[in-house]
Chains A and B, each alone.
Chain A
Amino acid sequence: MNLLSYLLLFTFSGGEAQGGPLDVNPGLILWTVVTFLFLLFVLKKIAWKPILNSLNERENLIKESLEKAENARKEAEKLIAENKSSMAKAEEEAQKIIDQSREHAEKLKTQILDESKQTAKKMIEDAAAEIERKNADAFNKLKDQVADIAINAAEKILKENLDKKQQIKLVDKYLDEMNKN
């Protein structure tokens, strides 16, 4: 009950008692205006301008740095892509060169093979022709020699055409000679 009475008391005494909470004090208003305007003026000078400028400066710095980093990243990506494409190109080129040289080698091989085959064939033919020729030569020589021998024999027979005995002797002798030869 005491509590209630005090609450009531408080309610009653609220606005009307001396120096109530809703009393307006003109002196205080004046001092508030002066104080606040002074604070506004001083802080604007010493605090808000430099601080806000610094904050803006820093924000710009961060923004610029981020932009720079982004640009650098893009540049690097471009370079990497370029590298990749040029590498692919080089590989292609190399492959082409290898293919070409392989083809070339193949061609060369068949060519050489053909050539050597032909040469061999020609050589064999030549050799055969030579042998033929030599054979013919030898045969001709032999023929000449045989003719010579026959003529010589005939000559000798003609020279010693005396008697039959002598003739036989001569033939024998001649035959001997022949055998000796």
Chain B
Amino acid sequence: MWFSNPNTVTDTVKTVGEAAKKTDTSWIMHHVLDAREISLEPFGSIHLPQFHLWGMDISITKHVVFMWIAVLFLILTFVKVSKSYKKSLVPKGVTNLTETLILFVRDEIAKPNIGKGYEKFLPYLLTVFFFILTCNFLGLIPYGSTATGNISVTATLATISFVVIQAGGMMKNGVFGYIKGLLPHGLPAWLIPIMFVVELLGLFTKPFALAIRLFANMTAGHIVILALLGLIFILHTYVVVPVSIAFALFIFLLEVLVALLQAYIFTMLSSLFIGMAYHQEH
């Protein structure tokens, strides 16, 4: 293990540079990054199957597995919830929890941000909210991994959001009307080409920000927790243990909040952008 021999790293930046070439320092990233196996540390690890399609590596990775766990969890939960509504309109048990979240997405996110015609986007918004929320929380349980802490996953989700936003705008205003509507009214003719480029860039910036925000938030918390725990081994003393644990616990609780918050923010901003594309006159 890396911490059993800390003397390999000396005080000089030069040796740090040398050490950077070694992979034994990537223990934090090991927990955050995607992997080809699921490690269940004291019990060994599960090697995942690898596939190749048309020269593309489409192996099942750890984050894919955790996304599937999230999907399975959500489908099982909502089958149960859906059944409970057939029995009675009065919510009970887990239905209460999901109903609170569903109504939150509907009444606090979709309705005020999209406005009229929000019903069409509700399935997408609900799915993205619950998917991100579940993925975020899966990263907080032992042996769990945060699929939403992977830039590929968040970029894909943001791209899907982008497609939904543009499709929504084009369905409502027509393809040409939508592109025309991107420009503000009453613009001098010579400004139009510049503004068009700016607005076009703006369209792509929005999902880019969505992707980076979710990825960075989910990764940062884990890194901070691991770094705090790493302090114990770096400083080689038991004195720091209570401090590290206390701070790590604090960050963990913060992460619970962040997990909820990021799911909310992703959904909220998506619906905000959908609203902007859908009702262009504003």
Instruction: Give residues in A with beta carbon < 8 Å to B.
Output: 1-3, 5-6, 8-10, 12-14, 17-33, 35-40, 42-44, 46-52, 54-55, 57-58, 61
A43 contacts B75, C-beta separation under 8 Å = yes
Which residues from B are CB-within-8-Å of A61?
89
User: Which residues in B have their C-beta under 8 angstroms from that of A1?
Assistant: 11
Task: Please give the residue numbers on chain B whose beta carbons come within 8 Å of chain A beta carbons, in ascending order.
Answer: 6, 9-11, 13, 15-17, 19-20, 23, 25-26, 28-29, 32-34, 51, 56-61, 63-64, 67-68, 71, 74-75, 78-79, 81-82, 85-86, 89, 98-99, 102-103, 106, 119, 122-124, 126-128, 130-131, 147, 150-153, 155-157, 160, 219, 230-231, 234-235
Query: How many cross-chain pairs have Cβ atoms below 8 Å apart between A and B?
Result: 170
Complex A-B: 23 CB contacts under 8 Å: A2-B11, A5-B10, A13-B26, A14-B29, A19-B29, A19-B34, A20-B33, A21-B29, A21-B33, A25-B57, A25-B150, A25-B152, A27-B56, A33-B156, A35-B67, A36-B157, A44-B127, A46-B75, A47-B78, A48-B127, A51-B82, A55-B106, A61-B89
**Is B9 a contact partner of A2 (Cβ separation < 8 A)?**
yes
Partner of A46, one of B34, B78, B234: B78
- Contact A19:B155 (CB < 8 A) given known A42-B75, A51-B81: no
Distance of B120 from chain A, by nearest CB (Å): 12
Contact B150 A28 (CB under 8 A): yes
Question: Are A3 and B103 in contact (CB-based, < 8 A)?
Answer: no
List of A residues within 8 angstroms of B124 by Cβ? 40
Q: A5-B16, A36-B156, A43-B127 are in contact. List 16 more A-B contacts (CB 8 A).
A: A2-B234, A3-B231, A3-B234, A13-B29, A21-B219, A25-B61, A25-B152, A27-B61, A28-B153, A29-B156, A32-B153, A37-B160, A40-B123, A48-B127, A51-B81, A52-B119
Main SS of the interface on chain A?
Answer: helix
Chain B nearest CB from A33 CB (Å) reads 6
Binding site of B, secondary structure by majority: helix, strand, loop or mixed?
helix
Determine if A6 and B85 form an interchain contact, defined as CB atoms under 8 angstroms apart: no
Contact, CB under 8 Å: B64 / A50: no
Minimal beta-carbon separation of B235 from chain A (angstroms): 7
* Contact A12-B17, Cβ < 8 Å, known A22-B151, A32-B152, A35-B64: yes
CB contacts (< 8 Å) of A33 on chain B: these are 156, 160
Chain A residues whose CB sits within 8 angstroms of the CB of B235 once the complex forms: 2-3
Contact in complex: B151, A24 (CB < 8 Å): yes
Q: How far is the CA of A123 from the CA of B124 in the complex (A)?
A: 115
User: Given the complex, which residues of A lie within 8 Å of B13, measured CB to CB?
Assistant: 5, 8
Evaluate contact between B6 and A2: CB separation under 8 angstroms: yes
Given contacts A24-B152, A32-B67, A46-B78, contact A18 B89 (CB under 8 A): no
Chain A residues with CB under 8 A of B157: 32, 36
Q: Which of B56, B63, B99 is in CB contact (< 8 Å) with A30?
A: B56
* Min CB–CB distance A8 → chain B (angstroms): 5
Chain A's nearest CB lies how many Å from the CB of B53? 8
In order of increasing CB-CB distance, the 9 nearest A-B pairs are A47-B78, A54-B85, A32-B156, A27-B58, A28-B152, A12-B20, A58-B89, A44-B123, A31-B64
Partner of A13, one of B20, B67, B82, B234: B20
Most buried by B among A14, A25, A47, A48: A47
